Chains A and B, each alone.
Chain A
Amino acid sequence: MTAVVQAEGLTKYYGRRRGLEDLTLDIQPGEIFGYLGPNGAGKTTTLRLLLDVIRPTRGLVRVLGGDPREPGVRSRIGYLPGELALEGRERAGEYLRFLGRIRGGVPASRIDELAERFEADLSVQMRKLSKGNKQKIGLIQAFMHEPEFLILDEPTGGLDPLVQQEFLALLREVRKSGRTVLMSSHVLAEVENVSDRVGIVRDGRLVAVEDVAALREKAVRRIELHFDAPVPAADFQGLPGVRDLRVEGAGVRCTIDGRPDALIKAAARHTVVHIVSAEPDLEEIFLTYYSDEEQHSARQESA
């Protein structure tokens, strides 16, 4: 199966300013890929390169097996720009029908169905649309021709929670039908529930690509154990994966990396009366990546 996105050494400079450096990434069919990073890290640059809005300085990019310069390739993509501009007196519905015609025809019933799901009013002039409503129109136009590949730049920005739920439901349907999604975000929580993999980009470089499942396993988890009697600290010291250990009388607090197995087995020798385990916060892992990278570059600078 050909990858939906194949990028090799993809690099983009705007004059001397770096947009993206040496991106190598494959996205497989049927995958939902979350593309994460703070603003200005190079997310939008990457997505625009995939759509031939901008041209690479160096490197190779293939989308759906072809060059994104070919109109035929772009007709199989649905795109939501990060800053969607819609203006003029034209009504939203007319504009959607125009985009549908250019893309080879979209049945009016499909547009209406999506408009209903997002509760979008298509009879409003585009210049009068609020930010959230523009975003709804943007989502409708990206999904309406049922493209094989969806590229969504910050799709949930400006949407209220109910519409966000509807959007996530739509994404799951897309995944079920075997189509591929690449969506960017600066908040991990937004993509972690629907993504199969996430890539983290920072300062124009892809610093990590992880399975969401694997990321969860790596998650730092806070655990509190309470026993019926004070426990010796020595029983818990030096357990694999256990950090920040604090033993205070009958209570044990720590954080663990990865599996809690060793800790649970050590605790099982005593009588456990209460256990508290916080859900792994992927946001925290995300930040860990970043601070590691920061320490790394700080070391390099001081060397």
Chain B
Amino acid sequence: MLAKSLRDNRRALAWWTIGISAFMAVYLSVFATVRQEPETYGTMAMNKFPGPLRDLMGGLTDFVSGAGYLQSVVYQLFVPMLFIVCATLLANRAIAQPEESGTLELVVTLPVDRRRLVLERFAALALALLAVAVVTLAVAWTISVAVDMGVPFDRILAAHTGVYLLGLLFGTVALTVGAATGRKMVASAVVGVWVVAGYVVVTIGRSVDAIAWLKWVSPFHYYADGRPLYEGLPVGDYLVLLGATAVLALTAVLAFDRRDVGV
């Protein structure tokens, strides 16, 4: 069952890995130019984005150092978002999409316990994302060495682990909503709203007192606020992401086990 899910997704996985790697390759290779003219690019980056937008990009205060550049263009917004979208699409293929297309009906009549079915599909999601994460980590590390960024491997590993956990968490949100409702659109919408709101809260919203407390329910808080690229692995924060994922996965199992399929 697990192997089959992975096999069915191999084409999508390959394309996502290539896509994310290509994105990083293009942006990171520009770093050589940025470093040659730090003033120009530093101010350019500051001027290009007006205040709130700059907040949205993580501040952009440090655009020209290796770690700063890496954080701004790779780990702040774009690569986490790519991972989240990839995870959501993969997660939808676990329950909601096959339920809507009707292929799940035969699968639930197979001699496999429903709880095991959901767990295996969750495991397939975790492994598939891990594969994308491992390959893209290798690419990120290789390029950062090639353009001489001066960021140690353990920091890149720490940031990349965070991206993986963040993607897995939102993927599991999609899986759980899909397992509970059987609706792909509902699952994607929940992820979309939570991602946008969660991201805004920890960037622009951080200076607005009225909503600042909401950061505790934003997964991005546990990813970026520990500044993994600067300060290494934020163990506590990552354990929160992992714990939330486990709770969601368990919810998915229980929700799917008590539900009518395909009605």
Interface residues of A (CB under 8 A from B): 14, 48, 51-55, 71-72, 74-75, 77, 79, 81, 83-90, 98-99, 102-104, 141
Q: Is the CB of A84 within 8 A of B113?
A: no
- 13 residue pairs of the A-B complex, CB under 8 angstroms, read A52-B108, A53-B260, A55-B258, A55-B259, A71-B111, A74-B111, A79-B106, A81-B105, A84-B102, A84-B106, A85-B103, A98-B4, A99-B106
Closest to B111 in A: A75
CA distance A54 to B108 in the complex (A): 10
Partner of B111 from A53, A54, A81, A104 at Cβ < 8 Å = A104
Find chain B residues with CB under 8 A from A103 CB. Answer: 110-111
Closest to B101 in A: A85
CA distance A53 to B261 in the complex (A): 6
Find chain A residues with CB under 8 A from B26 CB. Answer: none
B73 to chain A, nearest CB (A): 35
A102 and B106 contact, Cβ closer than 8 Å, known pairs A14-B263, A53-B261, A53-B262: no
Interface of B is mostly: loop
CA distance A85 to B259 in the complex (A): 20
Given contacts A54-B261, A87-B103, A98-B4, 6 further A-B contacts (CB under 8 A): A52-B108, A53-B108, A71-B110, A74-B109, A74-B110, A85-B101
CA distance A103 to B260 in the complex (A): 22
Q: Is B112 an interface residue (CB 8 A)?
A: yes
Partner of A90 from B8, B101, B108, B112 at Cβ < 8 Å = B8
Find chain A residues with CB under 8 A from B261 CB. Answer: 53-54
Find chain B residues with CB under 8 A from A79 CB. Answer: 106, 109
Q: Is the CB of B103 within 8 A of A55?
A: no
Find chain A residues with CB under 8 A from B106 CB. Answer: 79, 81, 84, 99, 141
Q: Is the CB of A77 within 8 A of B109?
A: yes
Find chain B residues with CB under 8 A from A71 CB. Answer: 110-113
A221 to chain B, nearest CB (A): 42
Q: Is the CB of A51 within 8 A of B263?
A: no
Interface centre among B102, B105, B108, B113 (most CB of A within 10 A): B105
Partner of A87 from B101, B108, B258, B263 at Cβ < 8 Å = B101
Q: Is the CB of B111 within 8 A of A72?
A: yes
CA distance A74 to B102 in the complex (A): 19
CA distance A122 to B106 in the complex (A): 18
The digit string for B236-259, where 1 denotes a CB below 8 A from any CB of A, is 000000000000000000000011
* Chain B contact residue count (CB 8 A cutoff): 21
Find chain B residues with CB under 8 A from A88 CB. Answer: 8
CA distance A74 to B112 in the complex (A): 8
B51 to chain A, nearest CB (A): 48
Find chain A residues with CB under 8 A from B111 CB. Answer: 71-72, 74-75, 102-104
Q: Is the CB of A102 within 8 A of B112?
A: yes
Q: Is B1 an interface residue (CB 8 A)?
A: yes
CA distance A90 to B260 in the complex (A): 27
CA distance A77 to B108 in the complex (A): 12
B258 to chain A, nearest CB (A): 8
Find chain A residues with CB under 8 A from B262 CB. Answer: 48, 53-54
A73 to chain B, nearest CB (A): 8
Find chain A residues with CB under 8 A from B110 CB. Answer: 71, 74, 99, 102-103
A86 and B260 contact, Cβ closer than 8 Å, known pairs A53-B109, A103-B111: no
B206 to chain A, nearest CB (A): 44
Q: Is the CB of B105 within 8 A of A52?
A: no
B116 to chain A, nearest CB (A): 8
Find chain B residues with CB under 8 A from A85 CB. Answer: 101-103, 105
Closest to A72 in B: B111
Closest to B7 in A: A90
The 4 closest A-B pairs by CB, nearest first: A85-B102, A75-B111, A54-B260, A71-B111
Closest to A68 in B: B109
Find chain A residues with CB under 8 A from B113 CB. Answer: 71
Closest to A19 in B: B263
Q: Is the CB of B109 within 8 A of A86?
A: no
Closest to A12 in B: B260
Find chain A residues with CB under 8 A from B8 CB. Answer: 88, 90
CA distance A77 to B106 in the complex (A): 12
CA distance A79 to B259 in the complex (A): 20
CA distance A51 to B105 in the complex (A): 10
Q: Is the CB of A52 within 8 A of B1?
A: no
Closest to A86 in B: B103
Find chain A residues with CB under 8 A from B259 CB. Answer: 55
Find chain A residues with CB under 8 A from B1 CB. Answer: 102
Find chain B residues with CB under 8 A from A83 CB. Answer: 102
B12 to chain A, nearest CB (A): 11
The digit string for B105-147, where 1 denotes a CB below 8 A from any CB of A, is 1101111110000000000000000000000000000000000
Closest to B262 in A: A53
Find chain A residues with CB under 8 A from B103 CB. Answer: 85-87
Q: Is the CB of A52 within 8 A of B109?
A: yes
